[in-house]
Each structure stands twice: as structure tokens, then as C-alpha cells.
Structure 1
């Protein structure tokens, strides 16, 4: 089993739909993790027998007719979130305890059929943005192990970036669900405070903490968040969210996105990050956006309050007894931050509240002029060696665009935005007001699609002799025959839909399972396809691998374009199941499993 086959939810769901047994997948996954015994990504792992027992329970429920949208999907959990059966350490062995029940969000995911594999590493007590403040070994960037992974949700990010699990839970108080996403080319969805329950979470700054989701795509992050979300009366900070909070939307042809005045942008000498942010602005403009500069001062001043203001006392409140009696057990940097709160008075706290309220009121002028705010997720990155040599200042640099978001009650999603020439990823964050989670995620999704299309156009310009091929079933990403494309250097250009007048059938007696697309003037059409570009020199050999009743014809897409693509001989659908109403093979596979 190769890691790239199991990158996202769809690849797991389609693999299971094609007959691959979840038992075998999870067993192989467990073996792969245990073979890397020195991997600091994981603090603890369930024994394989426990994993398979959880899977057996899910399988029984499924057989009894329950709908389990995440059936058999493995995931990681940051080790400040409770998972019954594994100790919660918060990155501190002396603090560890054995929870008697799952955190609410973990329980919701298990109820949907997902399988927690183990607990992931973190900056101790979720204090840090860099990933080095842990006694369990330092997780490193998935693209270059000389560099930091980002924190505090370091292990969760690396578990996804390494394609070990398709999603993982992190937390975010100052940016911990966003910075590791940017440094490892991931999506990091930081929901509005109170949208996901924090019952079963070791508090960092309890009034500001959020449980977050790391994934490879916006779709996956939204899917997991929708399942995990919901009001929890046992969580005093849980909120009754509007029903549209995680719903996607179609962005208008013209919209305003806010960016700080250039004089207020900081990249700490990282000129490539600066250029990539400028390129991201240009991509948003191609999507119809109008860049509106705003005064970043109130947001910057609010950000400083999280560590230089009274909210650091909340970190001490969460750990007061432990920290005062076990100071030697704390990471020295974490200890200095937490114990610095001993000098904060009640008067300081109220003055901090007043300052924050002033900054929020001042920021209202900005929000009246923009639909969304767009910032670099992190201004730069650092090597592990650099971070260890200057842990406070460099960590502070990483949070210049993140620390204010929870204090000001905003929603945010971090998305990939290209690579530096040394191969290190860069990311941007889209920030909206409270409960605009689905709205900003929709723009993040459009941004990622535009970036992919632009990259494909650049490649195609260099290799002009290419042909577009639309695939609809077993050749889709993550499907069993996708390798017939990738081994011929095919490039995924876009996900699209057919015009009306096409029907899709689940063909019988096909191994692996395949659908058949036929022309039918009475059918609804609008079937999901992937359009790949294939070198013309490889097109002939690709066709020879196609077996009856499938063949290559010309397909009309819903925007009027015509491309080569898979069509089925009409006789083969006699007696086959019409699955047109699912809108595509992936949706059909997901519903079956």
C-alpha cells in the first residue's frame, strides 16, 4: 500500500467501495506507524487489536442500517484532547492522566464511523507556534526536516502532511490550527469559538480555545467540522450557531477582500514569502476580488494582548496547582510564559478587557468595507536550530497574523498558496466574522482550484503537445486505475461536470468496479468528472489499456467545452443500476459505504 493512495476522505471511501477491506487498510497503517518507532509525530498509539475492535463495532452498526459517513477512516488527535483508552499528556509526562470518556468532538467522529489511531505531539500545554517545545521529540516540516513543523498542533499537522491519516484534530488559541497548516501545505480550519465543543480539552486559554481540523482539502475539513460541530450544554463556552455556519456559498462575481497596508506587512526578510503573498492577491483578483487596504493597527494591538496582556493569566488558571508544584516538569520557555502571569492583577485584567473592546470597536470600520480579510498565515519559517537558539522572539514572529483572531471572535481558514524555490510551502489565511466559517471556506476552495488551474496552464505551456481527457470512474484521483494516468505523466487540470443529456450507471461484473457514462437526451447529466491533461505521445498507449464496454469519445461539459472522455457502449447498461441522481461516482461510492 502506497501512502499517496490514501491521502483524503475520497481515496479511503472509494478504496472501500472497490472491495478493499478496512481491516487490511488499518492494519497496514498501524504497522507503518509502529515501524517508525523514532517518529516524534505520535505520543501514543492504540494497539492494533483495539483499533480493529472499534472498526468491528462500526461495521456492525453499518450492517444494522446506520449511515456512517466516516466509516473506517483513521484520524489523529492532538494530545491535549481526551480519547478514552489513551493517556492525555498535553505534552508533559508528569501531567498525564487517563480519561474515562472521549472528548465530545472525538465521540461525534467515532459515532460517524471514524477510527482514532492515536495521540499526536504538541508544544507543551499548547503553548507555542513552532513545534519544538515538547519532551517527546521534535516533529519537523514534512518538506524539509531541517525546518520546524509549526505548532502547537505539530504532530497533528505532520500526521496529515505525511499522508498517514487523512485528517487530524488540533487546537487553536493563538494560531496553532493555522501556522502548522501553512508550514506543511495543508488546509487548517479554525472554527468560530463555540462552534465545536471543548469538553474534554485541556485548556490553554479556556475562553479563547478552539478545536480545529487539518486536512488536504477544504471539502474534507468542512466534512469533518460539520460532523464534529454542535451545541454542547456541558461546555460553558459552547454557542448555538446559526444553521448556515458551515454551509458553502457561491462567491459573487465582485467582492472586496482586505489586506494590510504594505507598510504594515512584515515578512522578516523572507522575500519569497512576500512575493507569494502578492501572487495570492493576484489570484483572488482573478476570482473577482477587489483588494482593499486597511489599517492593521487595531488587529495588531489586539494580538499583543494574548501574551503581553492579562489573557496569559488564563494559562496559569488552567494549570495553577500543577505549575506551582511541578515547575521543573515544564518546558523552560512554557514555564516562563505561564508563571509570568503571577504578577497580573484584577485591575490589569479589566484594563485588558477594555483595551480589547476598544480594538474591536475600531476594527468595525474595517469590516464595514470588506467581505473577507486575507493575510499571510505565517510571515516566514525557521530551522529547528534557529528556533531553539531564539525561542521567544522567533515564535512571536510566527504569530503576527494569527494572535488576534480568537480574541476578536473571528472565523478563519488557512489554505496553501504556493512554494518557495527551496521547496518550502507558503500559505494564506482567510478571515471572516463569527459564524462565517462556510463562507470563507468556499472562497478558500475557489482559491485552491484557481491555483491548481494556473499551475496546470504553466505546465501545459511548456508541454504544448497534450490532450485533455475527462475521467468519470475508476481513473479518478484515489481510484484503482488512476495510476494509468499518473504513470504517463498526466496532470489533473480541474474537476468539472458534464452537460445535461448524460446518464451514469454502475456496471456489473467489472473488476475493479466501474461506472458507465452514456448519452441519454432525457437524463439530467451534470455528472462530476476530472479533466486530466495527458502528453499526446502517451495518449495511444492509454487508449490501448481501456477494455470494453468502455471507450474514448467526445464529452460536452456544462460550460459548452468538448473534451475527450470515457463513454460506455449502450448495451452494457441493460440491467445496470442508474446512479445519475448521485451526480458522480464518488458520491455513489460514499453512499454505499
Structure 2
């Protein structure tokens, strides 16, 4: 079984919330120094930099270990459409692993990594999870950057995460999320409050499931009652929308993405070519007809969301064998998307979790779905379903927020000496981003090395790229006490981020912004510190870190 397409030398883990966790990356997502093949061996151009989602994870302390196999060009739900070899379920050599994120799911299920990145356009972040007994989170569209990802359907693609438990998957997800102003499909999305009690919708009609799947599904319906009130609803519009993905104009989007790569008979999977080539003949009229039909179906699904908080469905109707896929590669694959294809079309988020095992011992997966912005709710319910402690992701209701966002750029960053003081005040890391372009960073005086930010006066030019910052969420009740630890020439003041939002941050007074101490060119405090270390043994910096951390804790900084 070919799980890996390439392996990489494991770099030392950075300090951070994911410190030391090892992860794999589906080989349609860029990893610096490695070709991104998308399952096509002809693609040999080495990626110059990490995709933003990979970069965010690395900066949070996780370590990339390699690139994983996939259905070529992320077109498939089976895991067999790859010139690098077919993947199989970890629980049966005779059954498919699911795709297209096949290698990523298998690497997690076999314990080779702690978590792995996949993508999900039609279900590729959930079907392999179901077929390997693990967890798969498909975020709301636009929450996780898709820059640096070889597109399948650009308007629908999502980067997903696999793990063996919801807690680990969620920890990775929290670092993956962040608005990317350079991604045209990125968006800011407020999370819906998590209700005290939840209503779970289930289909009001018989589902066309294989007998072994049907037995597991019946048991899952009983287990769902532990999550809240179970209510039967009409899901026909959801299932009809799922049929549009490959029978409607979205095939043209796949053709646009990689149709020019389909000419080489030796390199392209014949089933991928057979499916995608029809996209070349679709017209603009077909596209608008498809969009109109989708809008009609989406409007009809609104009635369901007025009744329930989440929708519970099987991930797939069955678990086919390799032989069944070989005998009918298009038909069997198409059936696997019955309950997943509509998710991105209807702008839903989803989490796949292991359900009751089938009578034959093969894994069975269920998925919880919610409208965009329901990611926190799904994570909480997914954790409860799996018997894990609640994740405590309930956000405060609108108008009742009791936290403030704080941007830190230096000694309070994750792994830096004053970070324990920030955490001791109840702060939690939200994201890593950059300031607006017209900020400069200066080395300022104090009991330990630290930077201060100053904004250029308007209308000065803004040639920079902004300063890297971490955004932390701090209880309002702790803000006053924390502010008393901030000594001159630093103060807390408004800082504009790259996405135009404004938060509190560490700014320095004008007299401390001395030209000879301008370190803006480094772009980030950690990069400045690294430049001071040079090629020397990094253990010295860790000894200094340990010293200052102990001082900070003793003095309550």
C-alpha cells in the first residue's frame, strides 16, 4: 500500500500550542522544498514556500513529515485512482481506503502521524475518515486558506484535518483557521453560539444503505439520542443537491483547474480523464442553469435548519471492495458521494466521527452537518459523540462578549519568556497573522529583549508587509491586571491587522522608536532573534529562554 508520495527531513519543532505533533500533508498542498504532484508524477516543480495552512501549523509547533497519496487531482472518493498505487482501509486489505485524501487518512489511522491535512470538495475529508475509523473535520468554506492548494473546484475546495480523536483534530483546526487577504475565497465568519440543548435532524425516509451499513446506522440513531432531541426531517433537497456536483456545471471548474493535464494517456488515470473531460463541453448557459437550480434547492433546505441545529447522516451508503471499484469505477465512486457531495454546494460545515462498527467488523462513519459558522457546535457534539471531554468552545452571545483580542509581537509570543504571564491571565491563542503594512518594529529598552510597534504617520507610504503577530483572546476581567504588567516605553493601544480589523496590541512611545533600533526588515520577532543566533548551537538560546522564563514567572511579568 502506497501511503506516502514523498518524505521530508523532520525539522526541529518550534515552541507553540502544537509543539512536537507530527503531521502529514496531502500531496495537492504545497510544502516548501517538495514537489506538489497532485498524484501526477509529471508535476516536478518544487514548492518555493509552504501553503499558508502548512505554515500556520509549523509556526504553532507541528512538524511536517511527508506528502501523502491521493486520488489524482483530488478527483475520487475511493483512493484507487493514483499512479502511485491504491490505498486500502487499515482494517481490511480487500476494501478501499476512501479518497481522495486516502494517504492522509491511512497515515493517521496507522499511527504514523498525529494528524494530517486533506482536502474536501465532494467528501474527501470525510469518506476516508469513515473507512479508517478516525475523525475528519471539514471547516466552513473560507475559514482556512486554500492558497498553495492545487484546485479541484476552486469555489468549493476546503482544506481538512484528520486525527484519531476530536481533541487533536480540533487543536490543529484552531491553528489552521485564519483570514487570508490574498485568498479570493477567504471570508470572515462569525461562529454561531453553541446552544445548551441541541436538536439533531435525521432523515425521515429510508436510506439506500448496504445491509451491513444499515445495521450500524440503526444503532447510530439510538446513540444520537444522547446528544439531544432527535427529530426526523425532509432531506430530499439535500440529496438532490448532492447530485449536481458531477451532473451539473461544476465539472467545468475541474476542467478549468487541470484539464490541460489530461492529454497524456500514460500519466493520467483513465477514470479521472473520463469524468473531467465532459467539463470542456459545458457552456455559460449550463453554469447559470446549475447555479439557479442549486439556489432553489438551498432555499428549500432552509426549512430544515429552522427545525434542527445539526443534521446527522451516514458518511457513505456502503464500504466497497477494491474488486467492486475495479468492476464499476464510476458508478461505485459516485454512490459514495450520496451524503457528502452537497456539503460545500450548500455552504455547510461537517465533522465525520466513528459510528458503531458494522456486524462484519468494518468501520462505519457518521457525519454531523451544520450551516456555515457552526464549526464550534460540530466540534463540541463530535467530542461528546466520541466520549471525549467537552471542548468548551461555546462562544459568548452577541452583545455579551466578555473577552478582548490582544496582538502580541515579541516576548509574549508562544514559547517566549513572557508568554506564561499571558496564559496565567486566562489568555488563549486565536490566530497568527500580520499587522497592516505601515507598522514598524523597534527594539526597546527593558528587563529583557522585546520589540515595540509604531505606525508610520499618514499619509506615509507603506512599502512593508506588516509585522507578524499572534492574536490572543483575554478575559475582559483580566485586562486591567495584565495591563499593569506592561512597562514603559510600551503601552497597550489599538493595532490594525492585515485584514483591516483592529485589536489591542503592544505599541511603543515615539521617543523609543529610534532609527538605529529599527528591526522592521526582519518582519517577525522570532526571525530577528534567529538572526542574532546565526549558525551557532541553538541550545544557547534555549538556555537563555529558560532563564528569562524563570525570571518572568518569579516576578509575575
Which TM-score applies when normalising by structure 1?
Answer: 0.64
How far apart, CA to CA, are the structure 2 residues paired with 1:91 and 1:238?
26
Give, in angstroms, the shift of residue 444 of structure 1: 1.3
Note the alpha carbon deviations across 1:166-185, whole angstroms, 9 max, x for none.
10000000000000000111
Q: How does 1:6-85 map to 2 (within 5 A)?
A: 39-46=1-8, 50-51=9-10, 54-55=11-12, 58=13, 62=15, 68-85=16-33
The 5 Å alignment of 1:523-542 reads none
| 1:492-531 equivalence runs, <5 A | none
Contact 2:29 2:51 in 1 (8 A): yes
Residue in structure 2 matched with residue 308 of structure 1 by the alignment? 247
2:221 aligned with 1:259: no
Structure-2 residue corresponding to 1:390: 328
User: Greater share of helix residues, 1 or 2?
Assistant: 1
Superposition map of 1:257-296 within 5 A:
257-263=200-206, 265-267=207-209, 270-287=210-227, 289-296=228-235
Is the 2:212–2:360 Cα contact (8 Å) retained in structure 1? no
1:194 matched residue in structure 2: 142
Q: Which residue is equivalent to 2:277?
A: 339
Q: What 5-or-longer segments of structure 1 have no aligned partner?
A: 1-38, 63-67, 452-593
Q: Is the 8 A contact 1:415 1:444 kept in 2?
A: yes
Distance 1:308 1:96, change over 3 A: farther
Aligned match for 2:110, one of 158, 162, 165:
162
What is the aligned partner in structure 2 of residue 320 from structure 1?
259
Q: SS of the residue aligned with 1:122? A: coil
Change (3 A) 1:136 1:257: same
Distance 1:329 1:383 in 2: 25
Query: What is the rounded CA distance, in whole Å, between the counterparts of 2:80 and 2:104 in structure 1?
Result: 14
Contact 1:292 1:370 in 2 (8 A): yes
1:369 maps to 307
Q: 1:204 aligns with which of 132, 135, 152?
A: 152
The alignment partner of 1:386 has SS state of helix
Deviation readout 1:179-211 (Å, 9 max, x if unpaired): 000011111000000010000000000000000
Give unmatched runs, 5+ long, in structure 2.
390-557
Residue 507 of structure 2: aligned partner: none
The answer (yes or no) to whether the contact 1:222–1:438 under 8 Å persists in 2 is no
Q: CA deviation at 1:130?
A: 0.5
385, 388, 392: which one aligns with 1:447: 385
1:344-383 Cα deviation digits (max 9, x unpaired): 1110000001000000001111111111100001111011
1:418 aligned residue: 356
2:72 aligned residue: 124
Does the Cα contact within 8 Å between 2:216 and 2:359 map onto a contact in 1?
no
Secondary structure at 1:147 match in 2: strand
The aligned counterpart of 2:344 is 406
For 1:488, the equivalent position in structure 2 comes to none
Paired residues of 1:283 and 1:450 also in contact (CA < 8 A): no
Measured in 1, the distance between the counterparts of 2:255 and 2:205 equals 37
- Does 1:145 find its partner at 2:84? no
Shift of 1:450: 8.4
Q: Deviation per CA, 1:452-507, whole angstroms, max 9, x where unpaired?
A: xxxxxxxxxxxxxxxxxxxxxxxxxxxxxxxxxxxxxxxxxxxxxxxxxxxxxxxx
Aligned pair count reads 389
Counterpart-to-counterpart distance in 1, 2:240 and 2:265: 31
Paired residue secondary structure (2:381): helix
